[in-house]
Amino acid sequence: KNEVEQSPQNLTAQEGEFITINCSYSVGISALHWLQQHPGGGIVSLFMLSSGKKKHGRLIATINIQEKHSSLHITASHPRDSAVYICAVRRQGAQKLVFGQGTRLTINP
């Protein structure tokens, strides 16, 4: 079993819908990252969080440390949000990130 599991693996929605992508992990962590990989391949960091909630524009990330679970929400989704969203965790005391397999999101106009 992977240390970091994302669901769903693929998600297709209509423009304007509220999107939720989930990430569960099985180890103690010091931080969780959400990243976005564009269709062209580039990867950008969206959020780092160790507790609570963060918001940037239409994106919201939450984390529940006790339940070892994080969610990434997109409000008023748009076709330009189509990308692969990747969750990664840093184990407590570790230098390295462990990545989930990614969730491929497609937003249709």
Partner 1 sequence: NAGVTQTPKFQVLKTGQSMTLQCAQDMNHNSMYWYRQDPGMGLRLIYYSASEGTTDKGEVPNGYNVSRLNKREFSLRLESAAPSQTSVYFCASSEAFQGNRDQPQHFGDGTRLSIL
Q: Is 4 one of the binding residues for partner 1 (CB under 8 A)?
A: yes
Q: 42 vs 109, which CB is nearer to partner 1?
A: 42
* Residue 106 touches partner 1, criterion: CB under 8 A: no
Q: What is the dihedral of CA 35, 82, 1, 98, to 10 degrees?
A: -10
* Nearest residue to 99 (alpha-carbon basis) of 33, 44, 48, 54: 33
3-state class (DSSP) for residue 57: coil
Binding residue count for partner 1, defined by CB under 8 A: 24
Which parts of this chain interact with partner 1 (CB under 8 A)? 2, 4, 30-31, 33, 40-45, 48, 50, 86, 88, 90, 95-102
